[in-house]
Amino acid sequence: MAQSAQTIGTRVMPRLEEAKDSSIGIKYSTFIIFAIVFMFVALIYVGSHIRMTELEYNIATELSAKEQKLEEQKKLKLEYAMLKSPQRIESVMRNKLQMSYPDNSQVIVLKKSGE
Q: CA 53 to CA 56: how far, in whole Å?
A: 5
- Residue 29 has a pLDDT of 86
Q: CA 28 to CA 34: how far, in whole Å?
A: 10
Whether the predicted model's global pTM rises above the 0.75 cut: no
Number of helices and strands in the chain (H, E): 2, 0
- Residue 13 has a pLDDT of 47
Query: Phi and psi for 111 in degrees, rounded to 5?
Result: -100, 150
- Residue 59 has a pLDDT of 98
Q: CA 54 to CA 60: how far, in whole Å?
A: 10
Domain boundaries, the chain: 2-100
What's the one-letter identity of residue 100? S
Q: CA 72 to CA 91: how far, in whole Å?
A: 26
How does pLDDT run along the chain (115 residues), one tens digit per residue?
A: 445 444 554 444 444 455 555 566 678 888 999 999 999 999 999 999 999 999 999 999 999 999 999 999 999 999 999 999 999 999 999 999 999 888 988 898 888 887 5
